A and B are shown apart, each in its own frame.
Chain A
Amino acid sequence: MLTIFIRAFLLYLVMLITVRGMGKHQLGQFQPYEFAMAMLIADLVSTPMADVSTPLLHGILPIAALFVVHGVITVVCAKSDRLRALISGKPAVVISNGRINHAELDRLCLSLSDLLEGLRKAGMLDPAETGTAVVEANGNISAFPSAANRPATASEQNISLPYDGLPLVLIMDGRVQYNNLGTAGLSDKWLEELLSHYNLGFREVFFASVNTQGCLHLQTMDGALLDMRALEESEVKW
């Protein structure tokens, strides 16, 4: 029994390292070859995990082989559009200029119900408002409203907006996030001084983040919310 426990532990580690090594694609949307890989790994791991009489190497070596093949396919797909199209397939436009492409739906063996479901998933409640819809290589449907049905953008209205980048979390559950402070070009002393104006220490802050407009938003451990200007916009460096 202890052997099975240790073998399961080792095989899980091997699987985790393999999936991590395959990159973020594997964790999110599957391409066809990634889907095949995920199924095979699960199967390869299960036999040596449960059967003590099967050598562990009989599980690990095939996983290593799949890892190499998968890596080669990924690299080749990144380098060659032709091979990527061959292996992963190509995106297919199923709605163009508001018109459903019947022939393309037939070719993809998609029904209108599938298309409508995909549009709803993409946030398009009314198909009549859809300008373009694409069935991606991984099977997802991306949909975009027609020009008449989307909100006007700031540039179309000649409105100048400030830079709207990623807010940086500076404190989580009382712990200073030094990486983010470094990214912002700030120090913990700066943060300590800022918080001292409100009689707060790091440990008393549950969550604090600063946005690219220089505003610091924080919630204390007892639930109080505070918003303050922490930086001038010119001081925002990320």
Chain B
Amino acid sequence: MRSRIIALSVVAALALTVCLLALGAVYESIGQLESLAAQSEKKVSEGDDAAGADALERFGVCYDRLRPVLETLTPHVELHNVKIHLTEAEHYLSAGRAGDYFLSMALLREMLSHLREQENFSWSNIL
């Protein structure tokens, strides 16, 4: 009985630790990506497309760096959608189509927000 209780406690502690680390990693990663997306949008809305494109490039580098970790924690399809919207935004910005760029960025940020929301420890997610 004692060994069973010890085993249960160890598994529970390990599982909770993994959950908390995963939560922290997702929050941290998404936070970094959201910040870079916001920087890009701010620069483009100020008319500085080059700085906006630079921020998007940094977003891409950051995304590629974080992707292996995020892939172990979130469904790959949703991460793939982030990359699709990033590629679209880069294309629209280089083509000078600001309206489409902002739409793609809005969808990109919505995807990032969704990734964070689904990891949130909240009643709405639990129920």
Which A residues are closer than 8 A to B by beta carbons?
A: 21, 23, 52-58, 61, 64-65, 67-68, 71-72, 74-75, 78
Contact = CB atoms under 8 A, between A and B. Distances in A.
A55 B71 contact: yes
List of 5 A-B pairs having minimum Cβ-Cβ separation, nearest first: A53-B76, A64-B15, A71-B8, A68-B12, A55-B72
Given A55-B74, A57-B72, A72 B8 contact: yes
B8 A68 contact: yes
Most buried by B among A23, A56, A61: A61
Interface in B5-58: 5, 7-8, 11-12, 14-15, 18-19, 22
Contacts of B72: 55-57
A71 B4 contact: yes
Interface in B54-112: 71-77
A190 B19 CA distance: 57
A106 B33 CA distance: 64
A65 B71 CA distance: 21
Where chain B touches its partner, the secondary structure class is helix
A52 B7 contact: no
Given A55-B72, A55-B75, A68 B1 contact: no
A67 B18 contact: no
Contacts of B4: 23, 71, 74-75
A61 B1 contact: no
Contacts of A68: 8, 11-12, 15
16 contacts: A21-B7, A52-B76, A53-B76, A53-B77, A55-B76, A57-B22, A57-B72, A57-B73, A64-B11, A67-B8, A68-B12, A71-B4, A71-B7, A72-B8, A74-B4, A75-B1
A182 B75 CA distance: 54
Given A57-B73, A68-B12, A71-B11, 10 more contacts: A53-B77, A54-B75, A54-B76, A55-B72, A61-B15, A67-B8, A68-B8, A68-B15, A71-B4, A72-B8
Contacts of A71: 4-5, 7-8, 11
A78 B7 contact: no
B7 to A, nearest CB: 6
Contacts of A74: 4
